[in-house]
Amino acid sequence: MKILLLDKNHPLITEQLTAKGFSFVEDFSSSYEEVLNKVGEYDGIIIRSRIPLDQNFLEHAANLKFIARVGAGMENIDVEFAKKSGITLISSPEGNRDAVAEQVLGTLLILMNRLFISSQEVKNGIWKREENRGDEILGKTVGLIGYGNMGKAVARRFSGFGCKVIFHDILADLGDEFASQVSLETLKIEADILSLHLPITKETHYLIDEKFISEMNKEFYFVNTARGKNVNTKDLVTAIKAGKVKGAALDVLEFEKASFEKLDSENEDLQFLLDSEKVIVTPHIAGWTIQSKEKLAQVIVDKISAQFPQP
C-alpha cells in the first residue's frame, strides 16, 4: 500500500510501516490544490491538521482505503462522506490522553494557587502572601463533559486529590471507579470545576455560552483542552468579569487557525484573556509532550498494521 504523509511526525511511523511492507511519499509543503492533483495515487493518508480533507478532496481520492490522523479529533475530515466512501478512519487519542490529563491538573493547580502570578511578583521584588492565598481542590466537585480517552485519564489524575469527580457523556453506562456519570443538569448543579473533553460538532459548537454558564449553580473554575470553538469567548469573558467563572485555563482558543499553527484573529475578548490574571492561556500544547509524540505515532502504526496487514 502506498501512503501519503502530509505532516511531519515521529520517524517511527515511516520506519516501522516501511519494514512492514508499506511505501511512503512525504509532502509537507504542497498546497491543498497541489495535493488534490495527485491524491488519487494513494491507498492511505496520514495527517495531523495542515490540510482539510473535505468532500471535494475525498472525491479525488479514488483509491483511498484509510485516513489516519495523528491526534484525537477528526474535525478536519469530512467523516460522513469518508464513511460513505468506504474509507477507514483511524485516530490516536490513546497516545496523548496522559499528556492532556497532566496539563489539565497542572494548569488548574497553577491557576487556583496563583503560582505563576506570585512567582512573577517575587521575581520583580514584590512579596505578597495574603493576596496570593490559594484555593484547594480537596473537597470540591470536578465536572467533566465527555468521558472518552481524555476524560477518563483526567478523572484518574484527580483520584488522589480528595475530590468528587462526576461526568456527563452522550453515551450511557460509562461510570467507573474514578468518576460517576450524571445528567448535564446534575453536573451544572454540583460542579466547582468544569473541564471539557469533547470533539467539535454541530451539537458542541458554542456549548459553553451565556445560557450554559448562567445555569451553573456555583461560581466555578473552567478548563478547556478540547477545542476552542466549544466555547463562546465573548460569553466566557463576560462571566469572568462578573466573577461567575473564578478562573480559566485555556489551551485552545476560538481564534485559532484550523491547522492549530497560530491565532487567526485579534479582538478585545482575546486581549482580555491574554491580559487577565484569572486566565492561563497556552498554545494548544495539552497533548504535546516528548512522550506523546512517540506514543501517538506508535498507536497509528499499530492500528494501520492491524487493519491493513501487508503480504
Looking at 97, 168, 197, 227, which residue is catalytic?
Answer: 227
Task: Please report whether residue 294 resides in a domain.
Answer: no
Across the beta sheet with 66-69, what order do the strands follow?
Answer: 23-26, 2-5, 44-47, 66-69, 88-90
pLDDT score for 258? 77
Last residue of a domain, one of 69, 91, 113: 91
Task: Please report whether residue 306 resides in a domain.
Answer: no
* Residues contacting 121, CB < 8 A, separation 6+: 127, 128, 132
Residues 108 and 167 in one domain: yes
Domain coverage including residue 262: 96-281
Rounded Cα distance between 166 and 36, Å, is: 45
Note whether 158 and 150 are within 8 A (CB): no
Residues 85 and 103 in one domain: no
Nearest to 47 by CA among 8, 87, 88: 8
Residues 224 and 267 in one domain: yes
The alpha carbon dihedral of 155, 176, 287, 255 has a sign of negative
Task: Please report whether residue 225 resides in a domain.
Answer: yes
Task: Please report whether residue 310 resides in a domain.
Answer: no
Residues 172 and 128 in one domain: yes
Last residue of a domain, one of 91, 109, 144: 91
Residues 122 and 193 in one domain: yes
Digitized pLDDT (tens) for each residue of the chain, 311 residues in all: 999 999 999 999 999 999 999 999 999 999 999 999 999 999 999 999 899 999 999 999 999 999 999 998 888 999 999 999 999 999 999 999 999 999 999 999 999 999 999 999 999 999 999 999 999 999 999 999 999 999 999 999 999 999 999 999 999 999 999 999 999 999 999 999 999 999 999 999 999 999 999 999 999 999 999 999 999 999 999 999 999 999 999 999 999 987 778 887 789 999 999 999 999 999 999 999 999 999 999 999 999 999 999 88
Rounded Cα distance between 104 and 108, Å, is: 6
Give me the CATH number covering residue 200.
3.40.50.720
Task: Please report whether residue 301 resides in a domain.
Answer: no
Cut 0.75: pTM above it = yes
pLDDT score for 311? 82
Last residue of a domain, one of 91, 108, 140: 91
Task: Please report whether residue 242 resides in a domain.
Answer: yes
pLDDT score for 139? 98
Residues 49 and 137 in one domain: no
Residues 73 and 141 in one domain: no
What is the per-residue burial (b if ≥16 Cβ within 10 Å, else e) of 246-258? bbbbbbbbbbbee
Task: Please report whether residue 69 resides in a domain.
Answer: yes
Looking at 256, 266, 268, 294, which residue is catalytic?
Answer: 256
**Grid coordinates of 293:** 509524540
Task: Please report whether residue 150 resides in a domain.
Answer: yes
Note whether 143 and 194 are within 8 A (CB): yes
Residues 255 and 148 in one domain: yes
Q: Is 34 a catalytic residue?
A: no
pLDDT score for 268? 95
Count of structural domains within the chain: 2
Residues 246 and 114 in one domain: yes
**Grid coordinates of 21:** 511492507
Q: Is 227 a catalytic residue?
A: yes
Residues 114 and 67 in one domain: no
